[in-house]
Amino acid sequence: MGRVSRSSAIILALLGCIAAATAYSCDPATCVAPNCHCASGTAPLPVEQMPQFIVYTHDDSTAELSTGLINQTITGYKNPNGCAIPVTYFTMQGFTDCAKVQAAWKTGSEIATHTWSHLAMPPGFKGGLGSIDKEIASVKDWLINNCSIPAADVVGFRSPFLVHNPTYRQALLNDGFLYDSSINEHWPMPSSPTGASRLYPYTMDAGIPQDCSWISGNACTATEAYAGLWEVPVWTLQTDTYPTPAYAMDPCTGENGPCDTAQLLKSFFNTSYNGNKAPVPIYIHSPWLSKNIQPIRNFIQWVTSNYPDAYFVTMHQLVQWMENPVPKNKMNDWLGCVPGGNAAGAVGAGVAAPAPAPAPAPQAAPAAPVPEAKPVAPAAPLVEALPAPTVVPAEARVDPNAVPAASSATQLQRSATTFFGAVAVTVVAGFMQFY
């Protein structure tokens, strides 16, 4: 697909989603926290009282390789309250090591879900709601029963390849999930007009105002309704020169020219911090992180050294905060240091651990390479691979390392590495650490 001008891409994108945006209607007088929150770019508190959140997530297997790489980026850094920097691990069953899952959970990270078999689940997925429900619910049950993660802590989901549809959202609701994080969000769009007025997380009681067409075959409408189910957007890491650069995950992958990951994150942070303070995303996979530990450390050091009102939080903590917003001068007590990516002050989150000693000065990343993972091999898929009539077409095969292609109107920035080949829905041992 050839490139079109930036202005043409923006105009056509806006036209493409204006119908959904205008159809969305939510009354904040009746949609009230904690169980309901209208989609909005307005900060939940006066902006001067707002903490700035950063959400750091990893997709796929949670094992020696992934947790080791993550730990190299966060070692030596703390949140303003002295607690460890948490990560949300969107975890699939294949190659996941329960010992590493437990260790991450105990240090305050969140264990969320990423399906059992890591299959794309487009409309027409074989077996419909029943098969999708198995893919989603079974990995949740496995994490609870095999890895001993409390059921109350396994509340989040991200779809493989960011392929989503109404059927899987219904499955999430049926299975008691608190939130999904699978729908791309960039600016300028009606739901996020500028980088300084990006969309906050919202519940889908009144539908979905976002444009879901950026991945071919994805579908969502303003008339969908899932009471109490939150959407935490997959915010695109970008600048005002969209669509270059723009990354849903793994920034600066596939760039032909210079691209400074740390600088891109700092620019995005500044835009948010000086705007509506919508959360800043760091969404990554292990193969990318293995080559980008230092840029992430540079960004974390910059934030923790300069912004005492900026907090790294899990997705669960972010949603808990949205349910009952707390001003930045009360964040230290509210957040606490508790296992599982909970907030100490949130309802049902338990008692905070004693505050630790002040954080030491940041140390250099460990020099020794992270050993190769030795996790449990993936189990067989719970459902068969898609039959030929429903194989995901080439244009819908999404590399989660980049913002996916939109429509004929625009070519979004893509990552170079694409493992999702001709057999798009076959689980292949070895792929699974990478997506």
Q: Which residues contact 87 (CB under 8 A, 6 or more apart)?
A: 56, 57, 58, 70, 74, 104, 109, 110, 314
pLDDT tens for each residue of 401-426: 333 333 333 333 333 333 333 333 33
Domains defined along the chain, listed by start: 6-433 (3.20.20.370)
pLDDT bin (cut points 50, 70, 90) of residue 256 is: low
pLDDT of residue 258: 78
Residue 239: is its pLDDT beyond 50? yes
Residue 395: is its pLDDT beyond 50? no
pLDDT bin (cut points 50, 70, 90) of residue 399 is: very low
Predicted model pTM: 0.79
pLDDT tens for each residue of 174-233: 999 999 999 999 999 999 999 999 999 999 999 999 988 877 778 787 779 999 999 999
pLDDT bin (cut points 50, 70, 90) of residue 139 is: very high
pLDDT of residue 1: 37
Q: Which residues contact 15 (CB under 8 A, 6 or more apart)?
A: none
pLDDT of residue 213: 81
pLDDT of residue 73: 99
pLDDT of residue 180: 99
Residue 311, beta-bridge partner list: 53
* Backbone φ and ψ of 192, nearest 5°: -145, 85
pLDDT tens for each residue of 146-171: 999 999 999 999 999 999 999 999 99
pLDDT of residue 122: 85
